[in-house]
């Protein structure tokens, strides 16, 4: 063992010397773009999952409040499960993750609340259904501010790109509810109008455009027997525009920065279909009948990349998918394996859902089942992504500072240096970092 450690030490010393020479000679060129695809899992609070008789989880959820990514692709936010076994629900906390800093818990136990529902462009403001976290102020419980002392359901479901404007629902669920928009630190909340043809108001879950002007969601009405039907809707101060046919299920889940493009879901007969909408094209379903049902969760800035989850007849469980304007609808795991060479990295995984995508469409996050059979969040960086594995200080460039910062963390045994996320700091982490470093990402 001692001999092996000496060999590792000599190998590291030789590589460090080589780096020093290259830096002295000006041999390193800054880069802000990934050169090859990379798949990484998002660690939980520890290597031990939280579990009970029917669930095992490290991080991430497949529901509405699942894993999210900032528009610039640098910050991932998710939930992490407390390690150990619980009979019943497994406690979870909100968390923030970057390649350089790893997983940081940012909330107390959420006690059954939804996880993260919104993240700002730079990842420095994060919202849950009744809380906010900021890089400057930390965790804030917003329940008293949201309800104004009145006993009504009032929940947050999204935020603008700058993190200053939120949207959500308020009212008495499931009877009647309204959408609100709130520039939270500047003014009282604004109650948004209902669609005339759907007078009972809005269902849970909605989205807001990056500029904070347009809100999208699910509007509903009841028949004489109190059966409800729904439609996707976009809303501004001036009124509500219904953008889908009336259906047993329908809603908008994401909007472009200016609100001109919407994605969501609607039923066609008994089948749930993901859709993309613009004023010019109307509502267009995306899965082309390739699966038995699909649900759109998010899109990139120009609407050319949409992600979500689907179910296929004869195949167990749900599956993550991606739609690109050029290629159409694809199973995400198949796409990453066949088109991006990530088959080895995905061995043993089942990608259940893609919950969000960066503005450039090159960073995708979601949740899957890892090779140990536990649910875990993941992040995929595709070529050209604006963040790099070797950008250790998240500056947008790969340069000598990244290498020095990595060395400090590595020799201190800091978890930030666990580049392959196997819970050990060893030579493999060093080799992985330097390989990415000398390749520019």
> What is the CATH classification number for the domain harbouring 227?
2.120.10.30
Q: What is the mean pLDDT of residues 391-402?
A: 74
Mean pLDDT, the chain, rounded, equals 85
Residues 278 and 377 in one domain: yes
Q: Which residue has the higher pLDDT, 33 or 213?
A: 213
> Residue 440's pLDDT is what?
57
How large is the average pLDDT for residues 182-202? 88
The mean pLDDT value for 181-185 works out to 91
Domain identity same for 185 and 309: yes
The predicted pLDDT at position 64 comes to 72
Residue 394: pLDDT band (50, 70, 90) is low
pLDDT class for 170, splitting at 50, 70, 90?
A: confident
**Mean pLDDT of all residues in 89-114:** 89
Domain co-membership, 288 together with 320: yes
pLDDT of residue 205: 83
221: confidence class by pLDDT, cuts 50, 70, 90: confident
Per-residue pLDDT, averaged over 81-86, amounts to 93
Domain containing 217: what range?
34-387
Cβ-proximal residues to 411 (8 Å cutoff; 6+ apart), any chain:
none
Residue 185: the pLDDT is 87
Single pTM value for the model: 0.82
**Mean predicted confidence (pLDDT) in 230-252:** 94
Residues 45 and 106 occupy one common structural domain: yes
Higher pLDDT, residue 416 or 92: 92
Which ranges constitute the DSSP H helices of 193-309? none
Structure confidence at residue 434 (pLDDT): 86
Number of domains present in the structure of the chain:
2
Q: Is residue 23 part of a domain?
A: no
Q: In this prediction, what percent of the chain has a pLDDT beyond 90?
A: 59
Check pLDDT > 60 for residue 115.
yes
Could you tell me if residue 392 is inside a domain?
A: no
The answer to whether residues 422 and 371 belong to one domain is: no
**331, 317 Cβ separation under 8 angstroms:** no
Residue 112 and residue 89 share a domain: yes
Angle value at C-alpha 185, between 179 and 191, nearest 5 degrees? 20
Q: Is the pLDDT of residue 226 over 90?
A: no
Please give the Cα distance from 392 to 101 (Å, whole number): 8
Higher pLDDT pick, 273 / 428: 273
- The mean pLDDT of 235-259, rounded to a whole number, is 94
Q: Kindly state whether residue 393 falls inside one of the protein's structural domains.
A: no
Is the same domain home to 247 and 116? yes
325 dihedral zone (left: phi>0; alpha: psi -120 to 50; beta): alpha
């Amino acid at each position: 063992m001692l001999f092996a450690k000496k060999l590792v030490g000599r190998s590291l010393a030789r590589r460090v010397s080589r780096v020093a020479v290259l830096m002295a000679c000006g041999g390193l060129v800054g880069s802000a773009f990934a050169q090859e695809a990379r798949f990484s899992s998002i660690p939980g609070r520890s290597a031990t999952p939280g579990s009970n008789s029917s669930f095992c989880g490290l991080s991430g959820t497949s529901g509405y409040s699942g894993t999210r990514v900032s528009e610039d692709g640098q910050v991932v936010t998710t939930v992490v499960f407390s390690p150990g076994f619980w009979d019943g629900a497994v406690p979870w906390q909100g968390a923030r993750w970057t390649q350089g800093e790893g997983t940081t818990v940012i909330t107390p136990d959420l006690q059954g609340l939804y996880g993260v529902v919104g993240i700002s462009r730079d990842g420095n403001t994060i919202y849950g259904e009744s809380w906010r976290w900021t890089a400057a102020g930390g965790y804030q419980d917003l329940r008293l501010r949201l309800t104004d002392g009145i006993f009504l359901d009032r929940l947050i479901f999204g935020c603008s790109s700058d993190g200053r404007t939120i949207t959500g629902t308020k009212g008495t669920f499931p009877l009647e509810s309204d959408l609100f928009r709130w520039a939270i630190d500047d003014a009282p909340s604004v109650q948004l109008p209902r669609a005339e043809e759907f007078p009972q108001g809005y269902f849970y879950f909605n989205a807001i455009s990056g500029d904070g002007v347009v809100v999208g969601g699910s509007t509903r009405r009841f028949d004489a027997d109190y059966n409800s039907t729904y439609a996707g809707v976009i809303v501004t101060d001036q009124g509500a525009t219904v953008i889908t046919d009336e259906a047993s299920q329908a809603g908008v889940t994401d909007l472009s920065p200016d609100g001109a493009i919407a994605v969501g879901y609607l039923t066609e007969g008994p089948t749930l279909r993901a859709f993309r909408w613009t004023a010019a094209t109307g509502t267009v379903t995306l899965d082309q009948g390739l699966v038995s049902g699909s649900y759109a969760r998010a899109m990139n800035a120009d609407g050319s990349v949409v992600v979500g989850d689907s179910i296929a007849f004869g195949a167990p469980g749900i599956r993550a998918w991606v739609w690109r304007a050029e290629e159409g609808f694809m199973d995400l795991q198949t796409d990453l394996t066949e088109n991006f060479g990530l088959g080895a990295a995905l061995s043993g995984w089942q990608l259940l859902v893609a919950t969000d995508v960066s503005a450039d469409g090159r960073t995708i996050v979601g949740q899957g089942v890892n090779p140990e059979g536990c649910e875990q969040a993941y992040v995929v960086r595709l070529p050209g992504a604006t963040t790099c594995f070797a950008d250790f200080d998240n500056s947008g460039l790969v340069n000598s500072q990244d290498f020095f910062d990595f060395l400090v963390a590595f020799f201190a045994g800091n978890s930030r240096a666990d580049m392959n996320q196997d819970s050990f700091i060893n030579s493999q982490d060093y080799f992985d970092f330097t390989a990415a470093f000398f390749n520019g990402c």
